[in-house]
Chain A
Amino acid sequence: MPSQQQQLIILRINGQRFSVSIEPSESLNYVIRERLGLTGTKRGCETGGCGSCTVLVDDLPVYSCMMYAMQAEGRNVVTVEGLQGAGGELDPVQKSFMEKGGLQCGYCTPGFIMSTKGLLLRNSKPSESEIRDALVGNLCRCTGYTKIFESVRAAASANSRKNR
């Protein structure tokens, strides 16, 4: 069986263009972490269940472990590293998780933050059930979720105060 041909692709990540030579079977998660060194996005189950690999592709939360990097060409990818402002100020979602203590070990946190960011981009006043529905694909083994939901609610109300 002939081996994989390396292909050169251009990925747009956090507003920056990266030219990278990859094999077709490499997932977006693998390329982000191992080839581009953006390790804020985590690798958990690699089978599309835990959500620690969640990134935004064209503002939509997706599992980067289940998407081949080649599929992301031509699309806008945002990882947790891309949420900070130009001067290093944290995104309101990141601030809320910090202030409300929505984490313990922190491993699931970037995934939750990206799912939350995706939620607030499409729905600035989510109801309780809309919050839960948006986070079904993110698992946490530490917190029991209570403080995570508080962080999301706080981020949503900070968001709607800002937009008034």
Chain B
Amino acid sequence: MSLAFKPNFYVKPKSLEEALEILSKYQDRAKIIAGGTGIYEVSHRGLLSETEALVDIGAIGLSYVRTEEAVLKIGACTTMSTLLASKQVGEDPRLAALADALRAIQPLQVKNVATVGGAICTALPFFDLPVALFCLAANVTIAPSGRREEIGKFVQGYFSVNLGPSELVREVELPLQEEKGGNGKSASAFEKFALTGDDWAIVNAGAHVTIEDGAISKSVVSVGGGVGEKPVIAAKSSKSIIGAKINNEQGIKDVLDKSVPLDIETVSDIRASAEYRLRVAKVVVRRAVLAACRRANI
């Protein structure tokens, strides 16, 4: 336990309204806790010494996974394990990047309590789920205003999201529109490279592709890990593979080998040098893209 973290009190509101009231009263002297793993890591490092109120939002009805009119809605307090076990994530190839990312999050003891909203709001670039959510163009819905923001803009940097002190993330939304017209089929995939079975990603990547007539017609590639303060939408790489024939894996490799270094600026840290990260990033992005293509082609 950190000696610096001494919240005055812990409260577990029974409704969203009650939670918002407490946040509004305490503003940045309150800290939201859901699974607790993020709060624990941050408080353990002495970063929450100003917290007076710990507001547990586990009982305000934000744990759900439902489909409404071709939109997947995930409550912010849904745990990683619950989301992974959900029917939608298990069956829909368009959401497969979520399943891959959830499987990559380790260990189980963390997955059983860590929440979707928590992972997004803790905002560390090497987390796995947010990178998958980036390539799937997820939106977050914020209470009390109900404003929706694309996750790429909502996440701003290390530990930093676009959230005021009396706001909280209520829900994450993913569009599920199938391509209209043509015979386009969509699928996604996520790949992670880490030193051990339960370490943080050195590099991870998500890919969401649409295939028409054996070629990539749409693509979004995201990259995370040691590539900056937040996950990156690899715009040049996403564009560079449009039109590529999916059975020309060498062609896709050649194109990505050139575009990935233009999209990301890798960092050196205790786990890997920037040069090693860049080499690995090309492979991880390629694997995510090819895996998504294979899934879409089934």
Contacts and interface: CB of A to CB of B under 8 A. Distances in A.
A binds B: yes
Interface of A: 1-5, 7, 23-27, 30, 46-49, 51, 54, 57, 60-63, 65-68, 70-71, 73, 115, 118, 132-134, 136-138
B44 interface: yes
A48 B2 contact: no
B200 to A, nearest CB: 11
B12 interface: yes
B197 A66 contact: no
Interface residues of B, number: 32
B43 interface: yes
A70 B56 CA distance: 9
A4 B2 CA distance: 13
Contact of A24 (B9, B49, B108, B113): B9
Given A66-B37, A71-B56, A1 B6 contact: yes
Contact of B52 (A2, A60, A133): A2
8 contacts: A1-B50, A4-B9, A57-B113, A70-B56, A133-B108, A136-B107, A137-B108, A137-B198
A27 B44 CA distance: 11
A25 B2 contact: yes
A9 to B, nearest CB: 9
Contacts, number: 101
A46 B107 CA distance: 15
Top 7 A-B pairs ranked by shortest CB distance?
A137-B107, A24-B10, A60-B112, A136-B107, A70-B10, A63-B109, A137-B109
Interface of B: 1-2, 5-10, 12, 33, 36-37, 40-41, 43-44, 49-50, 52, 54, 56, 58, 81, 106-110, 112-113, 197-198
Contact of B108 (A1, A26, A65, A134): A134
Contacts of A5: 8-9
A145 B197 CA distance: 14
Given A66-B40, A68-B54, A136-B198, A48 B7 contact: no
A2 B32 CA distance: 19
A15 to B, nearest CB: 21
A30 B40 CA distance: 14
Contacts of A60: 81, 112-113
A62 B10 contact: no
B10 A68 contact: yes
